[in-house]
Amino acid sequence: MKSNGTCECGAVTYEVEAEFPDVTICHCGQCQRTSGHAWASVSVPLHAVTIKGQDSLKWYASSDIARRGFCTECGSSLFFERLGKGRIAIGAGTLTQPTGLKTGKHIFLADKGDHYDISCSAPQYDTYE
């Protein structure tokens, strides 16, 4: 399956050739701060993703084990990569619609913001599942 997506301003675009898993919505503090809210993503093999507009893509080392890619022009939170695992999580909101995807789980509920509740029926986990 081939899909594509873009940041808000269009400086960074990407193509993915992979089967997508269900969407994971992460409520951890890092996702909330870098995206402004919980961050929805799909994890795919790193080699399945072709990124264009690398000049406008900056990687932020959000921890010793992961980095996050965002557009330097518009600030869109596009990617999360756990280093050395060969996989990359793509911001589900940056995919071209319709995606046909559904939400599979919510993670890091322990860090969830106090300004919202989750009425979604997908499973919820306190940390990572």
Token pair of 85 as six digits: 């695992």
Nearest residue (CB) to Zn ion, 47 versus 55 = 55
Based on CB atoms, which residue is closest to Zn ion, 16 or 78?
78
The total number of residues shown for the chain amounts to 129
Q: Is the CB of 97 or the CB of 100 nearer to Zn ion?
A: 97
Cis peptide bond upstream of 98, omega within 30: yes
Count CB-CB contacts under 10 A for residue 27.
Answer: 22
3-state secondary structure of 29: helix
**Minimum separation from the CB atom of position 39 to Zn ion (A):** 6
Residues whose CB falls within 8 Å of the CB of residue 74, separated by 6 or more in sequence, listed in order? 7, 8, 9, 11
Binding mask 67-96 for Zn ion (x = CB under 5 A): ----x-xx----------------------
Among positions 6-35, residues that touch Zn ion (CB under 5 A) are 7, 9, 11, 26, 28, 31
Footprint of Zn ion on this chain (CB under 5 A)?
Answer: 7, 9, 11, 26, 28, 31, 71, 73-74
